[in-house]
Chains A and B, each alone.
Chain A
Amino acid sequence: MREEIDTITNGPIVLEITRLCSAKNIGDFEVAPFKNLKLDLDRFYSCYRRCGYDLNGMNSETCLFNIGEVEVTLFCDGRIVLERIVPDEFGRVMEFVEKIYNPPGLEK
């Protein structure tokens, strides 16, 4: 499934969304930008912390956090692994993608 999104740091980008697993209406997805991005994860991390997300770990390559029950693994090239999305629908995935790429407080 391909989707477009306008991002604060990289402008409009095209994403390939893949359903990894699904059981009992709970889904896991991979979201991959068509062209690799270069995300400064430090800046994103600060925003996520201000949002009150549950941060699990971070280095220059990846940022691990939870938004509620959803487990988010964000890589510096823009790839995202989302686990435990309810309901397991692409529309719901895009709601999380918006929160991840465009967190409140992130500047261009």
Chain B
Amino acid sequence: MAIDIESIRRQFPILAEGDIIYFDNAATSLMPRQVAEAMMESDLYYRANVGRGLSRHTRKATGVFEEGREKVADFLGAEPREIVFVRNTTEAINIIACGLPWKKGDRVVTTLAEHHSNFLPWQVTAKRNGLKLEYVIPNLNDLSDLEPYDKALESKPRLLSMLYVSNVLGVRLPVAEVVRMAKERGTLTMVDAAQAAPHFPINVKELGVDYLAISAHKMYGPTGIGALYISKDAPQPQPLLVGGGMVTDVMLDEFRVAETPTGFEAGTQPISAVAGFARAIDFIGEVGFDNIEKRCKHLTGEFDHKIRLYDRLRVFGAEGTDNRLGIFAFHISGLGVHRTASLYDQFGNIVLRSGHHCAIPLHREVLGVERGTVRASMAFYNTVEEIDRFMEVTERILELVGDA
């Protein structure tokens, strides 16, 4: 069923009540009113420490929290016991990187397209444990090219960790194929699905991935909450945080960690954030991935076509809409990236992102760009009118700077 985009935009007070053009969805998506209401309801009516009391009040809070886990599990095609609530994708990847029992000399592979959240944890872990860290350079001109991954997997590394969709270029990497190749070689796999989760369905069992992470704030949910999928068949890492609520016994010199997911959820949990996360998943379900994908493809095509009409704009990454989402990194020649982004804000109230987008290795080693890029990133609730307004402001900027 087709969606009424105006009705959906009215659910986002920022869009309904302001004249903002929000093109920074790859950083954080906007949040619909019902998600905020779910969080407020949790805080106002069933605020309690989950799983730690016998009252009806506590049972209600625990129920909401565990229903949230079931929703996330269902969203990813996992079992609830395989879903750990974390603060964000960064924390999730740190749990895997720091928590697996490494042996000196183990090899870990990641790509040069990664967000720092899937780069720095492996650097640190490699240094601490004497691991060998290797990097795949994805073929950005031919995303179906599996050779770079095949080569990296030849010597059967212990783990491969990669993103699903680039937060800079919007390209969709061939995760399903790479995970299959890794499994054939006995290599564990971790996927950063932060950018993928709001845009298309993910099924961890079909992918066959061992670990996968998402963040709620990129999928219309609250900040400070995300999920880590840990396959029940994969090695279970040691927890990153220890403390209350995650043990079965504590002796004077040791303790016993509870099973997954409890063993990874130390301390009082962000109950209202989980309630909001669950409501955000409901929201995606109500809109439907079919509609989201169709609409995003249309917006991506419009933006891609129009932005490439300007000679002074250099757009990075593949042209067209195949295997890519509406995330565009670009330069206006002769202008610094922060100047560019601030001019879009000044002239059009257009929210962009400028800099390295937490992906310095991608910029420096793959794109050959030292000072970053400007990024426009779309969600399904954006419109063609907003894209046209962006192009009008582009012309105004070009007029202002002349030949500078």
Contacts and interface: CB of A to CB of B under 8 A. Distances in A.
B327 to A, nearest CB: 18
B347 A61 contact: yes
A71 B400 contact: no
A100 to B, nearest CB: 14
Nearest to B398: A57
Q: Which 8 A-B pairs have the closest CB atoms?
A: A56-B404, A83-B336, A21-B355, A73-B339, A57-B400, A57-B401, A71-B336, A81-B338
Contact of A83 (B338, B364, B402): B338
Interface residues of B, number: 21
Nearest to B401: A57
Given A28-B336, A61-B346, A83-B371, A21 B400 contact: no
Contacts of B402: 57
Contact of A21 (B334, B342, B364, B371): B371
Nearest to A70: B336
Contacts of B356: 21, 23
B404 A24 contact: no
A1 B342 CA distance: 20
Contacts of A79: 342
Given A28-B355, A83-B371, A73 B342 contact: yes
Interface string B191-228: 00000000000000000000000000000000000000
A84 B354 CA distance: 14
Nearest to B370: A23
Interface in B324-383: 334, 336-339, 342-343, 346-347, 354-356, 360, 364, 370-372
A73 B343 contact: yes
Interface string A38-70: 000000000000000000111101101000000
A101 interface: no
Contacts of A89: none
A56 B343 CA distance: 13
Contacts of A57: 400-402, 404
A75 B336 CA distance: 15
A81 B341 CA distance: 10
Contact of A20 (B343, B355, B360, B400): B355
A10 to B, nearest CB: 20
A31 to B, nearest CB: 12
A98 B404 CA distance: 25
Given A64-B400, A83-B337, 17 more contacts: A20-B355, A21-B355, A23-B360, A28-B336, A28-B337, A56-B401, A57-B401, A59-B400, A61-B347, A64-B404, A73-B339, A75-B342, A75-B346, A81-B336, A81-B338, A83-B338, A83-B371
